[in-house]
Structure 1
Amino acid sequence: MKLRLLVLALLGCVTFSSAQEYFPKNDAVKAENNNYTALTNAKIYVTPTEVVDGGTLLFRKGRVVAIGKSVDLPENTVVVDASGKTVYPSFIDVYSGFGVDKPEKAKSSGRSAEFDASREGFYWNDHIMPENDAVAKFEYDDLVAKTLREAGFGTVNSHIKDGIARGTGVLVSLNGDGNDGDRIIDDRSAQYFSFEKSIAKKQSYPTSLMGAMALLRQMYYDADWYAGGHIDSKDLSLEALNTNKDLVQIFKGGEKGNVIRADGIGDLFGIQYAIVGGGDEYERIDQVKATNAKLILPLNFPDAYDVSDPYASGYVNLEDMRHWNQAPANPKIVADNGISFSFTLHDLDSPADFKDRLMKAIAYGLPETKALEALTTVPAQILGRTEDIGSLKKGSYANFLVTSGPIFDKETILYENWVQGAKNVINDMTLKDIRGEYDLSLSGQSFKLSIKGEAGSPKAEVKQDTAKLESKFNYTDNWMSLSFTTIDGDKSYRLTGLVDPSSDNLSGKAVLPDGGETVFSAVKTSEFSKKDTKKEKDVPEMVAVTYPNVGYGYDAIPKPENILFKNATVWTSEDAGILENTDVLVKDGKISKIGQDLRAGGATTIDATGKHLTAGIIDEHSHIAALAINEAGQNSSAEVKMTDVVDPEDVGIYYALAGGVTSLQLLHGSANPIGGRSAILKLKWGRSADEMIYDNSPKFIKFALGENVKQSNWDSHSRFPQTRMGVEQVFMNYFQRAKEYEAKKKSGEPYRTDEEMETLVEILNGERFISCHSYVQSEINMMMKVAEHFGFTVNTFTHILEGYKVADKMAEHGVGAGTFSDWWAYKYEVNDAIPYNAAIMHNQGVTVAINSDDAEMIRRLNQEAGKIMKYGGLTEEEVWKMVTINPAKLLHLDDRTGSIKEGKDADLVLWSDYPLSVYAKAERTMIEGATYFDIEKDKQQREAVKKERNRLITMMLSEKSEGKKTQKPKQNKKETMHCETGVEVRSMK
């Protein structure tokens, strides 16, 4: 093995030959083959756009020597007449695992996953493995290579499909005749990355997508620091990462959001990844295009669901039904938008499925030239190997396909796949096409013989009169054999014969039921018709893409309107209080005027008589619209960002809008004392994640106290802290380290960029605010003392269900409160909670907000505020401020939103009734003047969803009736998240 690796390392860019010229020639008899080979009279695709009709392809020793209509052939040329055949460059897969086994999954020890790395001399995180080289684990398997060649592939770029930083790939020609020295084109072809942890490693961090993103960022910062010579010890991982930085960088993104996330990491460090997509790029094509990345697209179109059972069909959500219908158009839409892309076999069950999926993409409008480019020239460009592969230009490898006609014609036969000049027969080129209808005669009896299917592997059906007979048929090397049994099953016939290439008819020897022998003849009565199977529609029926592309998505993204609300009861959440019979003019996304008898001036007028107009509700503590809530792998995750995992397609956004919510703070969960950075969102349903995040957003972070963070009851015995005392020491330790980190930065000395410390320094400097999960008074006091020790103020205690016990101290410290109206006793540390909590804190001068922490409660925060009037006797204006201007103050957004005031954002809700009432409905919810929820439009959308589901179900039933493959219905339901979601670092089972 060591010798083999040494040879491969020395090869670099290998030139194909049967053996290296300096090898001793001990075989005195065997001579080297220096002949040329020429395919003549063929239609040759040099590239997808450069075609030579009646051309000649000349090659020698695995390389193209010449190509054209008139090529001088040397005397020692073997000539192959390819008249009537078409030649194409063979296909390339940039993202393969061929010849490189995925590591085995780590075995569980029955305890929580390890927190520390298992390796010495490498990076601190086990999932960062850029030192891995696929070539060291590569073993050529010609049985697997055969399946790839049969699908048209001649070259694959393989790598270890495991880990976040995965190491280098190996570029391999699928040449079964050579050895690794011949077939390995490049032993360091690219460097690979993903967001997925290694299955072979037990280290717990990261436990989330946002953790993986933070780890990648820190890895790059550390690589720069290492490259500067600032680390005395050897780090083989960082050394390899830096060594490989000039290679092609390939990132497995997956779904469309991860394509965008991966590109964002690349942009931060000046890296342009080629990104593996997920097949749903069409849903956010503008954002995908803006990445400027070359894409590697799987053709993993889902099969139709078997919706024949009405009960089971109810489990399939509209989003999944739509994706089945729309996904085949993804390549066309990507091509139409000028995005460069290649195809990969990744995510397909078998290479044999590839052509059908590709043909489906072409049926949905993908131009054939673009399809061919995606399999030849573009993957060669991605890999930077255009001189060697992807075309049949002079000097390139002689990797090509010989077909019976246009390669994307359903009836075209792939005859041969030549790899590095070595011929691989897929279907016998001399095999006669015998498909058609015949009159079969033998021993005085007549039968009907129908031969259909693929030309290279046809199927036969025998009938006597109109009855179908049981039969078996085989056709190989121009020999046919047929056996069939009569209707009653008591007589069987066996036929065999050599097909005459010059005749349309079939004949040969027959063995009769009694063992006697005779001859048979089958006279062709009609040619095989391609129309024998059901003709597919020219343009498959597609449902429209919506924004977002889920149920209740909009046909078009809402835009700001100029609107005049007339005669409303206006709850200002300002000193002006509640104004009766008042007009509010919305113009250019802002609240323009408030008063009576205002003129519309071209704005749309809405009669709000008898209705109530308020500022949009703001939820200071929410976990909707997220792909992950906790990064639970370490006791501090200050490096992770909720902005990385905003999910703009969470239907909880739409439901929140229906409850009058316009803004929220998306908080990290409570897995660790120091959690992740927050995302503050405007619920702009239909827009992208970036467009939902507040511009110039105030900086927040989640801290947590109590039972969740110490995890002592969750079998996490290897992680500190295990007690509430330990939680305090975590804070003291990390803030002391942050002070030292900042001191070093200010000293002018070189320093290692640490995202975690950078975040904590922002807290010390008052540039980032803490929202702290809290329950019991002892810990509330502790957190304020820690903050005062380091000279900053805690911004908000959230939950804070024992706040009434320390409300005076909270007011003195200057901290606000985000609490529940009447939740208590749902776990032990909440036993002392009381519903008067909010009122008591308010009366002590604490800014109090009522929040949800719940995807259901967020829809009725107006009612939650109303409860405070009962429990505490506050006024309607005071409690309404608890869901509008007070959370805006806590989030440092009160100059922009949270109240109805001229100049503020037009984040407004028109209520059908008194807004604190259980009977009140949000009729219209606006954000910056655009209507994101309309109760009348909602009724229309409900009906539209029903009709669309029925339409898609009908289409799926049609697929099943045509015999096409289907899958079982399944429920793809988004998890409802809370603070505790993903808190426990579970054992690896």
Structure 2
Amino acid sequence: MKLKFLLCLILLGSISLQAQEYFPKNDGVKSRNTNYTVFKNAKIHVDPSTVIDKGMFAVREGKITAVGKNIEIPANSVVVDLKGKEVYPSFIDLFSDFGIEKPKKAERGNGQPQYDASREGYYWNDHIRPDTDAVSKFSYDSEKATKLHKAGFGVVNTHVPDGIIRGTGMLVALNPEGTKGDRILKDRSAQYLSFDKSVQSNQAYPTSIMGVTALLRQTYLDADWYAKGNSENKDLALQALNNNKNLVQIFATDNLLNEFRADKVGDEFGIQYVILGSGNEFERLKEIKETGATYIVPLNFPDAYDVEDPYFSEYVSLEEMKRWNQAPANLKMLAEKEVPFTLTTHELDAEKDFKTNLLKAIEYGLNKEDALAALTTTPAKVIGQEGQLGVIKEGAWANFIITSGDFFDKETTLYENWVQGKRAILESMNTTDITGKYELTLNEKTYDLKITGEPSKPKAEVTMNDTKIGSKLSFEDNWVNLLLSSPDTTKTEFIRLTAKVPSASEEFSGKAILPNGKRVNFTASKKDSEIASENDKEKKNKTHEVAPVSFPNKAYGFSEMPEEQNILFRNATVWTNEDAGILENTDVLVKNGLIAKVGKDLNAGNAKVIDATGKHLTSGIIDEHSHIAASSINEAGHNSSAEVTMEDVIDPTDINIYRNLAGGVTTIQLLHGSANPIGGRSAIMKLKWGEDAEDMIFEEAPKFIKFALGENVKQSNWGSESRFPQTRMGVEQVFTDYFSRAKAYEQKKKNKEDYRKDIELETLVEIMNGERFVTSHSYIQSEINMLMKVAESFGFNINTFTHILEGYKVADKMKEHGVGASTFSDWWAYKYEVNDAIPYNAAIMHSQGITTAINSDDPEMSRRLNQEAAKSVKYGGVSEEEAWKFVTLNPAKLLHIDDKVGSVKEGKQADLVLWNEHPLSIYAKPLKTMVEGVVYFDLEKDKAMREEIKEQRSELITQMLKAKNEGVKTQPVTKKEETHIHCNTMHEIH
């Protein structure tokens, strides 16, 4: 080691001789300080898994030159004795806006939406800003740097937090004395992205998460097209994006679903994002692991709720309670799953909250070694600085902290934070630590003295025979002054004690002045070396009761996911929806997720037998028009949003999935809203409660898209005057214009010309080629006629008119066109264009040979679709069997999945519902709802779950009450109204 160190000295000396400075010296004679600082007798945490007891290391010109048990001390060295102290690498924060001025919000102008970009020479969308660079916006913030120093940080990766693609960040050393040139370790360290729009622009598009996702896809496609030299115009944004593609890509998200959405986009384009997480990764650990991403995890745990008021406590959901209870264990679970993660001060006061929450995570089981790795070596690896940052090794930057002991102990003091060999003094290392328990002898009396707190700001608690004595302690320059209330008098009198505390002593003594002025001696002798109070001991030994994670992690979630079963339903009344009709006393065998046999006296084999005597077995209900299970419904930024897909915004945790299963619904078409004439692509979903979004997609289903007509698309009720169209004539022109463009686009593709791949036009080409089907929101007969004619002029048919409340007026023309209908049973007069609706609409269209379905468009109605179907028996005399097909086989036909679902037939998927009685009855309840042979709803289990939910709520409320009683910060309970999503619901993103 000594020989190695001497060789290092020779090498450094030769480098110093060869290096030449090129700045003139105009303010006096200056010379570089090439002395060494050698630290000895320290417990050195070289890296998370390597510790040197009573070790040494040397620092010169900002770098560590040697580390070891014993190293050669050069002649020109300043030696610092760190006996009893510990040294750690300074921490690294990969997600910061340190030194960046908050972007200024654009003025709203005339209040109307902005549809075009405002940045000439850049990308068509203002929210794509890869040309932004943090270096040009950076100014060192000494005050914030001090806060970060106190939390242990020496390096931050900072960026401009604005926009969807935000541009490049920079790696900054928090050197307290350096220049900008010294501090910038990398001026282009990473590219940052998010799901948030730029505040510097009012450009309307995108208005939704699905719009952001589509915009990201199109931007990546355009960047590739641009890189191949296809553009006639210079685009500085795309040019910058291509220049940034080899950088680390950091994607900011704020919830678990968005974490998966970001990873999905990355996978599509071969990009592995580093993801700023939500802290709720524990809810989907398996899927988190499968992303292959490194996560930057904030330590902003939710506060407990103030649940003292029993009525207000009912407004706190079980999901919110569980997250409060479980979030501190998130890091432990990630580490156990071997998911790489780093930690960030994002959204925290670094000085006050970071260490507190970090210690809480350790209380909940996070290993200290894993915690240190998340703060040092892991972020260094992510940012390409292995061996340079996050370690105390030869050649690394001299970035380290000096502490009084184990950093991860509450009472440990952080004395100094060195960055690039420059010292930030946070607490004096010369201050003697006097915390502990003492026996105080004074004037022939004995007191118990307990000193806690930080060494520079200790606090005293004095008792005599378990009676608390008033006291006040001050400590400065190793002089202790203690003021005691006199125990010998009823008057307010005080005893004043003062003493000089010797370094590293187990006792101190001095003078005391009694209330009568008499001077006496006192002695304080440490009783033991245990600093922590009894309460602190209890906390250390405390095991936290962490509620088990369910799927989804809320009320009615499964503790374990249900599995596919082979089941024989014995002796049921089976509604086949086939030529056989309704079969009495019939068996249905489910095997391997399919309907294996339908008949009498079937052999069960190894299948579970369910006695269905007196009960009705049907295929699952299919809702052709639904808006449940979505994070957003409308992308309203443009008059066509064919580029967006509802598959990007599936919310598998929506309680309406479970409620729909409880109503016998097994499949839905999740439709875009009606904000624009050409809406977004659909998601056809199986309601597999507890699964993730991708597993809910009906893989065998064909592709669909939503169109819309009427008041919504021409913005009759929005008050907008700037977005085309404003009239029904304009709506027709939108369709004509976009399909004309799509035809020209397709021709260019067929001619194999160089063309810019356009997701929006690709979708419209699919429609014209019969590869994607159209469901259109509709009301007025004139518009229904118009859209059929437009479609025919471009060589395709409309597949389904949904709502279609004037369908009875044009049923003959619909039949001729070949379009189906998905309507309401008896909604009318809820807005002007519905004035002519009648409850006989479904029956009339059905009578004309149109495939007719009843849909919900409503989360409440969707779980009562069996009753909605029954209304067509009353209104129009439709037979019970045909009425039942309105919500089962007919919507399956409209969705072109009737070969898979919609009837009870051998070979079809086992999407079945067992009803307690006639399914069209208002008294009918599903006893079991099965999707592909898996029972996702069971009425008996539901009853048991309700009791479990009560018990869980009670336990968690007790925990919150106890936490408040212990002085833990709480948040008030607020009533949250459940949003019912319909066609015109908007979810504006910011």
| Distance (whole Å) between structure 2 residues aligned to residue 732 and residue 476 of structure 1 | 83
**Conserved in 1, the CA contact under 8 Å of 2:171 and 2:186?**
yes
What is residue 9 of structure 1 aligned with on the other side? none
TM-score in terms of structure 2 length: 0.95
**Conserved in 2, the CA contact under 8 Å of 1:256 and 1:288?**
no
Aligned CA distance change for structure 1 residues 524 and 880 (closer, same or farther; 3 Å) = same
What is residue 181 of structure 2 aligned with on the other side? 181
Residues 472-551 of structure 1 correspond to what in structure 2 (within 5 A)? 472-483=472-483, 490-491=492-493, 496-501=498-503, 503-507=505-509, 521-524=522-525, 526-527=527-528, 529-534=531-536, 535-536=538-539, 537-551=541-555
| Distance (whole Å) between structure 2 residues aligned to residue 206 and residue 300 of structure 1 | 29
Deviation larger for 929-938 or 430-439: 430-439
Q: Displacement of 1:210 after TM fit?
A: 0.6
**Conserved in 1, the CA contact under 8 Å of 2:437 and 2:531?**
no
**Conserved in 2, the CA contact under 8 Å of 1:217 and 1:265?**
yes
What is residue 5 of structure 1 aligned with on the other side? none
- What's the secondary structure of 2:905's corresponding residue? coil
What is residue 381 of structure 1 aligned with on the other side? 381
| Distance (whole Å) between structure 1 residues aligned to residue 104 and residue 91 of structure 2 | 30
What is residue 227 of structure 1 aligned with on the other side? 227
Aligned CA distance change for structure 1 residues 710 and 485 (closer, same or farther; 3 Å) = farther
| Distance (whole Å) between structure 1 residues aligned to residue 337 and residue 828 of structure 2 | 54
| Distance (whole Å) between structure 2 residues aligned to residue 131 and residue 303 of structure 1 | 39
Aligned CA distance change for structure 1 residues 529 and 38 (closer, same or farther; 3 Å) = closer
| Distance (whole Å) between structure 2 residues aligned to residue 972 and residue 343 of structure 1 | 31
- What's the secondary structure of 1:104's corresponding residue? coil
Aligned CA distance change for structure 1 residues 814 and 478 (closer, same or farther; 3 Å) = same
What is residue 776 of structure 2 aligned with on the other side? 772
Of 686, 694, 699, the residue aligned with 1:695 is 699
**Conserved in 2, the CA contact under 8 Å of 1:436 and 1:524?**
no
2:910 aligned partner, one-letter code: A
Q: Displacement of 1:112 after TM fit?
A: 3.2
**Conserved in 2, the CA contact under 8 Å of 1:172 and 1:186?**
yes
Q: Displacement of 1:499 after TM fit?
A: 2.3
What is residue 956 of structure 2 aligned with on the other side? 952
- What's the secondary structure of 1:189's corresponding residue? strand
- What's the secondary structure of 2:37's corresponding residue? strand
Between Structure 1 and Structure 2, how many residues are aligned? 970
What per-residue deviation string (whole Å, max 9, x for no partner) do you get for residues 919-964 of structure 1?
1110110011110100000000000000000011111112112222
Deviation larger for 927-936 or 465-474: 465-474
**Conserved in 2, the CA contact under 8 Å of 1:509 and 1:517?**
no
Aligned CA distance change for structure 1 residues 226 and 28 (closer, same or farther; 3 Å) = same
What is residue 12 of structure 1 aligned with on the other side? none
What is residue 328 of structure 1 aligned with on the other side? 328
What is residue 622 of structure 1 aligned with on the other side? 626
Q: Displacement of 1:256 after TM fit?
A: 2.2
Q: Displacement of 1:448 after TM fit?
A: 5.6
| Distance (whole Å) between structure 1 residues aligned to residue 53 and residue 450 of structure 2 | 36
Residues 1:896 and 2:918 are matched in the alignment: no
What per-residue deviation string (whole Å, max 9, x for no partner) do you get for residues 715-773 of structure 1?
22111111111111111110101111111111111110111111111001010011100
Residues 1:391 and 2:384 are matched in the alignment: no
2:651 aligned partner, one-letter code: D
| Distance (whole Å) between structure 2 residues aligned to residue 517 and residue 346 of structure 1 | 57
1:678 aligned partner, one-letter code: S
**Conserved in 1, the CA contact under 8 Å of 2:572 and 2:585?**
yes
| Distance (whole Å) between structure 2 residues aligned to residue 484 and residue 551 of structure 1 | 55
What is residue 128 of structure 2 aligned with on the other side? 128
TM-score in terms of structure 1 length: 0.95
What per-residue deviation string (whole Å, max 9, x for no partner) do you get for residues 584-642 of structure 1?
11111111111111111111111111111100000000000101111111111111110
What is residue 823 of structure 1 aligned with on the other side? 827
What is residue 436 of structure 2 aligned with on the other side? 436
Of 584, 590, 601, the residue aligned with 2:594 is 590
- What's the secondary structure of 2:713's corresponding residue? helix
- What's the secondary structure of 1:374's corresponding residue? helix
- What's the secondary structure of 1:155's corresponding residue? strand
1:636 aligned partner, one-letter code: S
**Conserved in 1, the CA contact under 8 Å of 2:506 and 2:526?**
no
- What's the secondary structure of 1:232's corresponding residue? coil
CA RMSD, aligned part only?
Answer: 2.3
- What's the secondary structure of 1:840's corresponding residue? helix
**Conserved in 2, the CA contact under 8 Å of 1:112 and 1:718?**
yes
- What's the secondary structure of 1:533's corresponding residue? helix
Q: Displacement of 1:485 after TM fit?
A: 5.8
- What's the secondary structure of 2:361's corresponding residue? helix
Q: Displacement of 1:77 after TM fit?
A: 1.0
Residues 10-29 of structure 1 correspond to what in structure 2 (within 5 A)? 21-29=21-29
**Conserved in 1, the CA contact under 8 Å of 2:570 and 2:612?**
yes
- What's the secondary structure of 2:740's corresponding residue? helix
Deviation larger for 665-674 or 274-283: 274-283
Structure 1: give runs of 5+ residues left out of the alignment. 1-14
Q: Displacement of 1:54 after TM fit?
A: 2.4
- What's the secondary structure of 2:315's corresponding residue? coil
- What's the secondary structure of 2:900's corresponding residue? coil
| Distance (whole Å) between structure 2 residues aligned to residue 437 and residue 846 of structure 1 | 88
What per-residue deviation string (whole Å, max 9, x for no partner) do you get for residues 876-932 of structure 1?
011100000000000000000000011000100011011100011101100111101
What per-residue deviation string (whole Å, max 9, x for no partner) do you get for residues 810-838 of structure 1?
01100001000001111111111000000
| Distance (whole Å) between structure 1 residues aligned to residue 490 and residue 204 of structure 2 | 67
- What's the secondary structure of 1:37's corresponding residue? strand
Q: Determine what percentage of the aligned residue pairs are the same residue.
A: 61
2:743 aligned partner, one-letter code: K
Deviation larger for 457-466 or 899-908: 457-466
| Distance (whole Å) between structure 2 residues aligned to residue 300 and residue 530 of structure 1 | 26
| Distance (whole Å) between structure 2 residues aligned to residue 520 and residue 234 of structure 1 | 85
Residues 1:411 and 2:411 are matched in the alignment: yes
Q: Displacement of 1:387 after TM fit?
A: 3.4
**Conserved in 2, the CA contact under 8 Å of 1:252 and 1:275?**
yes
Residues 751-900 of structure 1 correspond to what in structure 2 (within 5 A)? 751-900=755-904
| Distance (whole Å) between structure 2 residues aligned to residue 884 and residue 227 of structure 1 | 50
Residues 1:660 and 2:661 are matched in the alignment: no
**Conserved in 2, the CA contact under 8 Å of 1:657 and 1:933?**
yes
What is residue 6 of structure 2 aligned with on the other side? none
**Conserved in 2, the CA contact under 8 Å of 1:442 and 1:518?**
no
Aligned CA distance change for structure 1 residues 982 and 425 (closer, same or farther; 3 Å) = same
- What's the secondary structure of 1:710's corresponding residue? coil
2:75 aligned partner, one-letter code: E
- What's the secondary structure of 1:566's corresponding residue? strand
Residues 156-167 of structure 1 correspond to what in structure 2 (within 5 A)? 156-167=156-167
Aligned CA distance change for structure 1 residues 587 and 430 (closer, same or farther; 3 Å) = same
Aligned CA distance change for structure 1 residues 391 and 16 (closer, same or farther; 3 Å) = farther
What is residue 3 of structure 2 aligned with on the other side? none
Residues 275-314 of structure 1 correspond to what in structure 2 (within 5 A)? 275-314=275-314
1:526 aligned partner, one-letter code: K
Q: Displacement of 1:21 after TM fit?
A: 2.2
Residues 917-932 of structure 1 correspond to what in structure 2 (within 5 A)? 917-932=921-936
Q: Displacement of 1:523 after TM fit?
A: 2.2
**Conserved in 2, the CA contact under 8 Å of 1:926 and 1:932?**
yes
Deviation larger for 638-647 or 76-85: 76-85
- What's the secondary structure of 2:100's corresponding residue? coil
- What's the secondary structure of 1:430's corresponding residue? coil
What is residue 553 of structure 1 aligned with on the other side? 557
| Distance (whole Å) between structure 1 residues aligned to residue 709 and residue 463 of structure 2 | 79
What is residue 190 of structure 2 aligned with on the other side? 190
**Conserved in 2, the CA contact under 8 Å of 1:416 and 1:424?**
yes
Structure 2: give runs of 5+ residues left out of the alignment. 1-14
**Conserved in 2, the CA contact under 8 Å of 1:851 and 1:858?**
yes
What is residue 610 of structure 2 aligned with on the other side? 606
Deviation larger for 574-583 or 436-445: 436-445
Q: Displacement of 1:410 after TM fit?
A: 2.8
- What's the secondary structure of 1:219's corresponding residue? helix
2:809 aligned partner, one-letter code: K
What is residue 8 of structure 2 aligned with on the other side? none
Residues 225-264 of structure 1 correspond to what in structure 2 (within 5 A)? 225-264=225-264
- What's the secondary structure of 1:84's corresponding residue? coil
